[in-house]
A and B are shown apart, each in its own frame.
Chain A
Amino acid sequence: QKEVEQNSGPLSVPEGAIASLNCTYSDRGSQSFFWYRQYSGKSPELIMSIYSNGDKEDGRFTAQLNKASQYVSLLIRDSQPSDSATYLCAVDNTGGFKTIFGAGTRLFVKA
């Protein structure tokens, strides 16, 4: 089992729709969870961070965390073509000395 798993996609949604990205992790002691967006050939940039169970909203983005199910998700409302990118789920291991990334989900938003 991979430490952090994501559907590789691609996920294709029409403009204005909600994009839902999912991630599961294996380390039950993990406390910090992040979503990064990466455009082709560019470096990852932080979109959301979440540290406690429940939802966290920031503009069009909502991160959801369920530690009991070891599940993290990212919702993008009113998706725009500029949201087309690869989204990386990242989890800090127990102790916080390693950040482990999923392989990423490619999102395409069709105009």
Chain B
Amino acid sequence: EAQVTQNPRYLITVTGKKLTVTCSQNMNHEYMSWYRQDPGLGLRQIYYSMNVEVTDKGDVPEGYKVSRKEKRNFPLILESPSPNQTSLYFCASRRSGANSPLHFGNGTRLTVT
């Protein structure tokens, strides 16, 4: 089954404790992206990757890191989480080029206390 898999689904952590949210896709998509979703603000892009070893900042990259060492994986790293990073996070992928919709993972609900 074609899918984007995120883990974990739920995560509660404390301020400053490094964490990684994993994302993997099995559709051979070149493009991958991370979004956060907050009430009233919609989906905002954190980072995206056009291909292996090619990443770039989205609209809200502060406090986040990403890497793209393999085509299928695109982990999101929070080196020192803060309470304002409490949010619902989505990983998504799509083919490169125009006219290609995003395929989303199931989301990770992160709470930082």
Interface residues of A (CB under 8 A from B): 8, 31-32, 34, 41-46, 49, 51, 88, 90, 92, 96-104
B81 at the A interface (CB under 8 A)? no
User: What CA separation (Å) do A90 and B40 show in the bound complex?
Assistant: 16
A98, B100: Cα distance in complex, Å: 11
The reply to whether B98 and A92 form a contact with Cβ atoms under 8 Å apart is yes
CB A11 to nearest CB in B, in angstroms, measures 16
Query: How far, in angstroms, from A46 to B104 measured CA to CA in the complex?
Result: 9
Measuring CB to CB, which residues of chain B are less than 8 angstroms from any residue of chain A? 31, 33, 35, 40-45, 48, 50, 56, 58, 90, 97-102, 104-107
Is there an interface contact between B48 and A44, defined as CB atoms closer than 8 Å?
no
CA distance A42 to B9 in the complex (A): 11
- Bound-state Cα–Cα, A83 to B104, Å: 20
Q: Is the CB of A31 within 8 A of B43?
A: no
The answer to whether A88 and B42 touch across the interface, beta carbons within 8 angstroms, is: yes
Nearest-Cβ distance from residue A90 to partner chain B, whole angstroms: 8
Min CB distance B60 to A, Å, is 12
Known: A88-B43, A99-B33, A102-B42. 13 other contacts (CB 8 A): A32-B99, A34-B101, A41-B107, A42-B106, A43-B105, A44-B90, A44-B102, A44-B104, A46-B101, A49-B99, A51-B98, A97-B31, A101-B44
Q: Would you call B42 and A101 a contact (CB within 8 A)?
A: yes
Please measure, in the bound complex, the distance between the C-alpha atom of A63 and the C-alpha atom of B35, giving whole angstroms. 25
Residue numbers in B under 8 Å from A102 (CB-CB): 42
